[in-house]
Amino acid sequence: MIKSVLQIERAKYAPKMPKALQGNVKIVIGKNTESVADQEEVKKLFPNTYGMPIVTLEAAEGKSDSQSKVLNVGVILSGGQAPGGHNVISGMFDALKKLNPNNRLYGFLGGPSGLVLHDYIELTSEIVEEYRNTGGFDIIGSGRTKLEENEQYDKGLEICRKLGIKAIVIIGGDDSNTNACVLAEYYLQKKSGIQVIGCPKTIDGDLKNEMIETSFGFDTACKVYSELIGNIMRDATSAKKYWHFIKLMGRSASHIGLECALQTQPNVCLISEEVAFNEQTLQQIVDDLVRTITKRAVNNENFGVALIPEGLIEFIPEMKILIEELNELLAEGSATSKAFIAIPTDDDKREYVIKHLSDASGKVFKVLPKGIAKQLTLDRDPHGNVQVSRIETEKLLIEMVEKQLSILKKQGIAKVKFSAQNHFFGYEGRCAVPSNFDADYCYSLGQTAAILIADGKSGYMASVRNTTESSDQWVAGGVPITMMMNMERRNGVMKPVIQKALVQMDGEPFKVFAAHRDEWAIHTSFVYPGPIQYWGPSSVCNAPTKTLQLEQFRK
């Protein structure tokens, strides 16, 4: 493997850990738990893992020369990449070898499918050393296969028995950790002797609660995006002729957009949850953008930056209804879908759709630019649903703003110079070299997962809290996954899932943003964060996200 100078130097970095993980550890049992909602339904589905206590790891006095029993452990990387995954694995590896040098760690290749297909490698010291403090998931690869069927669980059981694996660690987001809990419950019911532990991963930041302060990767990804946004802001203030519309990752929640706004102070940042809360229409969003653009033009500032969350479309009530109607209208195999496919021209297809929608949705569809309208009707996933993440929301808003400004100009109300550039920052942040925070946090999560396994725990998620303090004051432990669950309708069926954390209107991060955004809208108050700093003052190199600082400040 050819290494850059940064990778060579970064490999020398020794992640900082909570005091409890630096020596011998004792397990402290806390209070029993219950799910965040739908307690009876969740309890019925998880009789073996529901109501378990929170556990905390504390430093044990003295030294111990005794070794634990030999443990073989499997690890799975599940879902999209997030900076720090390799450090979770290296933390697990080091902790397992410390517990007993004969312990073995197996990596299932390509995500959960590796468990089902029996595709794996043993992670040796030589392999792990190559990946310490690096970004990406390429040590074993990842995948999006969902573990939902008994047949899959039984195939996993086969390979675990063959390799003598006593525990599986699933590193993933809310869906992956929901699957981990289901798998833990199944193996306990079967009395298989296989434990399952989860680790909280997602750059989107929507896997968090009172016990999981942040998901790993969020810190690094937001710093990468904020650097890029800052670079564009500097260009905008230099050229003074473009409005930059930047779409950011975050389909289900706007945490990335909000964090990047707090770091860079853009003229506009749309928060999907606020749009839904206020029941804003698409036209109202466009009108707000036009007002800001017009006000800045009065000051001869015909430039600016607007941040747009990836999932905005689904949060606009009228668009959500439209998408639901389109999914129904164009469902695979339906008579209307067959008729639609047979129509030869795009214009005729557009008219056909409008006629078959409700009056309200027809009006919305009619005002959409033709390109966006076509995306809504043609780009569908295997389940027949619109692939919302592929909708170029930033281009949609640019086109609608241009049209509105043109109308105002003809009416003599406003004459504004408007030229726009569009961007989408997504993959740029998912595999970045982890920040010090994520490198430390992930290594501690891996260490914690190994200790939970050694203590016989199953159905838990590794947790590291108090993360706005110095790392030696962090609190490591385990949280029952059922504690985070509620019942939600998925594909027409009620299922237990980990409750997603959305941006809260009464949360401190949003309140701080809301208190300043009117000023940022009109005055050019850009902040240029620059690249991630790996060496230097602690206040720069080890600082957590502004979101985390603001959330923890009030606790």
Q: Which of the residues are catalytic?
A: 204
Q: From CA 527, how far away is CA 226, in angstroms rounded?
A: 9
Burial of 392 (C-beta count, 10 Å sphere; 0-12/13-18/19+): middle
Cβ atoms 55, 117 nearer than 8 A: no
Return the sign of the alpha-carbon dihedral for residues 328, 334, 340, 341. positive
Distance set, CA 342 to CA 346, 354, 384, 447 (Å): 11, 16, 17, 58
Question: Which residues pair with residue 490 across a beta bridge?
Answer: 493
CB 429 within 8 A of CB 224: yes
Angle of helix 346-356 versus helix 317-329 axis, rounded to 10: 110
* CA–CA gap between residue 257 and residue 269 (Å, rounded): 7
Q: What letter does residue 79 receive in the DSSP assignment? A: S
Evaluated on CA atoms 89, 92, 95, 100, the torsion sign reads negative
* Burial 318-327, CB ≥16 within 10 A → b, else e: bbeebbebbe
Torsions phi, psi for 320 (to 5 deg): -60, -45
Cα separation, 525 vs 266, in Å, equals 7
Pick the closest to residue 136 from 75, 200, 217, 225 (CA basis): 217
- Tell me if residue 411 falls in helix, strand or coil: coil
* Token pair for 151: 């047949």
Q: Of 209, 174, 177, 63, which is closest to residue 449 (Cα–Cα)? A: 177
Return phi, psi of residue 172, to 5°.
Answer: -170, -170
Q: Could you tell me where the DSSP H helices lie in 300-389?
A: 312-315, 317-329, 335-342, 346-356, 359-367, 370-378
CA-CA-CA-CA torsion sign (271, 273, 275, 278): negative
CA distances from 446 to 89, 108, 407 (A): 6, 16, 57
Residue 500 DSSP symbol: P
Question: Distance from CA of residue 463 to its chain's centroid?
Answer: 17
Cα–Cα distance between 109 and 137 in angstroms, integer? Answer: 10
Question: How many CB atoms are located within 10 Å of the residue 138 CB?
Answer: 15
Q: Return the closest-CA partner of residue 76 out of 106, 118, 104, 117.
A: 106
Write the burial class of residue 195 (CB in 10 Å: 0-12 exposed, 13-18 middle, 19+ buried).
Answer: buried
- Evaluated on CA atoms 343, 345, 346, 351, the torsion sign reads negative
| Count of Cβ atoms closer than 10 Å to residue 93 Cβ | 27
